[in-house]
Amino acid sequence: MAKRDFYDILGVSKTASQEEIKKAYRKTALQFHPDRNPDNKEAEEKFKEAAEAYEVLSSPEKRQKYDQFGHQAFSPGAGQYGGGQNMNMDDIFSMFGDIFGGHFGGGGGGGFQGRSQGMRGSNLRVKVKLTLEEVAEGAEKKLKIRRNVPADGVSFKTCPVCNGNGQVQRVTNTILGQMRTASPCPNCHGSGKVMGERPAGVNAEGLKPVEEVVSVKIPAGVVDGMQLRMQGKGNSGPMGGPAGDLMIVIEETPHTELTRDGENVHYELFVSFPDAVLGTNAEVPTIGGKVRVKVDAGVQSGKILRLKGKGLPSLEGYSRGDLLIHINVWTPKKLSKEQEAMFEKLRHDPNFTPQPGKSDKNFFERMKEMFQ
């Protein structure tokens, strides 16, 4: 089933402001909140769908990528990666709480049931450099990370302030009557527990730092700046709270000869004047190795040769770009007297007078052809 457009999910236009997007998400999230729709799977899916849409559209950087690439910008094809589609309910309720000022984030206020599972740990972020060849084929990388995990020998006891609920309720008298609100417990930060035994080397949250080596499978077709997500590989939450995620930021290493443009790659081929006149065979690099191409006699500078399927795969794996070879006729800057005399004889030869025909495209036509 095809993913719905994020703007359609929230019911806003593509030119909507951040405030309009926030307001639309607030309305949609309240409508399909699980506590208002108990045992309703369809409502739960729409609640998650709205959270996914808001996570992307509320971020100017992510929104720009989504407007440019669509869903493929956040769906690399592996289950542990992507954007909001892999958020768990803790992620969503945390974001939900940010929208409503903490009154409804985990439930417990305004008729919602308590959902406290402890404070979620922070995310970690690492950069991974990829060559153009690795982008084309996909890669598996070993990453050494340092993160906080629960320490052995730590014990917890029930928080005396919230009695293990993780939240404290407040009643405020207003002109409309009493209003009951709930917020995370300031003593246990929403975990419902406080530390009992604390061994040496353990921080106040019951965590200790460790070094780990994680293996990351990076799908083919990723783009520079894209973020991949490994759930649960960030810092663990305090007092036994769920772990954050490891965010892998893709950094593409420039190729020495090829230039990437989306799924297409470009190569500048310089041809000598005699080869342009007489024609030649030239060796050009591709992502998979070198190939020989034929350069026809009489080729004009600016001509583009297209090698189908020699570019990069799409992120979803449904298509592959091309290699575009740009012909540049090299004109010598200095000539010997004999060479000058030879070209002087040809200066007024009708065969050397420019006579562009209909098949000779101008600059704008060549650019149009390149992007088709």
Residues 181, 285: one domain?
A: no
- Beta carbons of 276 and 329 less than 8 angstroms apart: yes
Residues 142, 81: one domain?
A: no
Distance, CA of 115 to CA of 91 (rounded, Å):
12
Residues 75, 88: one domain?
A: yes
Query: What's the number of domains the chain is made of?
Result: 4
Mean pLDDT of 110-131: 71
Residues 87, 180: one domain?
A: no
Mean pLDDT of 68-86: 55
pLDDT, tens only, 227-285: 888 989 999 887 777 899 999 999 999 999 999 999 999 999 999 999 999 999 999 99
Give the model's pLDDT for residue 312.
95
Residues 61, 144: one domain?
A: no
CATH assignment at residue 133: 2.60.260.20
Q: Write the CA distances from 286 to 140, 224, 365, integer angstroms.
A: 22, 20, 25
DSSP, collapsed to helix, strand or coil, labels residue 127 as strand
Residues 59, 106: one domain?
A: yes
Residues 130, 248: one domain?
A: yes
Neighbour count for residue 42 (Cβ, 10 Å): 9
Residues 127, 224: one domain?
A: yes
Helices and strands, number each (H, E), in the chain:
9, 15
pLDDT, tens only, 295-327: 999 999 999 999 999 999 988 778 899 999 999
Which carries the bigger pLDDT value, residue 34 or residue 57?
A: 57
Cα angle for residues 28, 106, 188 (degrees, 5° grid): 155
Cβ within 8 Å of residue 243, ≥6 positions away:
120, 121, 149, 232, 233, 234, 235, 236, 237
Q: What are φ and ψ of residue 54, in 5° steps?
A: -70, -35
Strand arrangement, sheet containing 246-252 = 124-130, 246-252, 227-230
Name the helix (H) or strand (E) containing 41.
Answer: helix 41-57
CATH assignment at residue 46: 1.10.287.110
Distance, CA of 300 to CA of 219 (rounded, Å):
39
Residues 180, 222: one domain?
A: no
Residues 229, 337: one domain?
A: no
How much of the chain is in helix, strand and coil states, percent to nearest 5? 25, 30, 45
pLDDT, tens only, 16-38: 998 899 889 888 888 887 767 77
Of the CA atoms within 13 Å of residue 95, those in its CB half-sphere come to 24
pLDDT, tens only, 150-175: 888 888 888 898 888 888 888 777 66
Residues 129, 107: one domain?
A: no
pLDDT of 182 > 50? The answer is: yes
> Which residues are registered as beta bridge partners of 84?
none
Look up the domain containing 182 and give its range: 155-196
Residues 285, 270: one domain?
A: yes
